[in-house]
Amino acid sequence: MALWKDRLEDDGAVHATETALRRVADAAVSDAIRALRRALHTDDLERQRETTLLLTLARRLRDDLDGGTWTRLDTGERHQLRRAFMMVALLACAHGPIPFA
């Protein structure tokens, strides 16, 4: 009988595959587009500017992914790319100001 602590640890490599990254990238771009649509329905020019920048960022990250850049990254860096897409999606869904440095 194997103990629970004797199991192999999942390194999360399944989340760093091309298919998984494409799904996350497409979702982040879609969320950014929805955020821009919401912003355009308001008269808040600052929110429109923020969501436009967010959409530009999401599209550029996805373009890098489509260009095959991800294949030159190791698993850890692909995890960071996935987290970046997820952060873009979270910011797009947020209703507060989007912090840009």
Domain regions of the chain by residue span: 27-93
pLDDT value of residue 44: 85
Task: Tell me how far the alpha carbon of residue 13 is from its chain's centroid.
Answer: 17
> What six digits make up the tokens of 75?
């698993």
Query: What confidence category does residue 34 fall into, taking pLDDT thresholds of 50, 70 and 90?
Result: very high
Residue 45 burial (CB count, 10 A): 9
pLDDT value of residue 5: 64
Residues 51-98 pLDDT 10s:
999 999 999 989 888 887 777 888 888 888 899 999 999 998 887 777
Torsion, Cα of 30, 33, 34, 40 (10° steps): 180
Work out whether the CA dihedral 61, 67, 68, 73 comes out positive or negative: negative
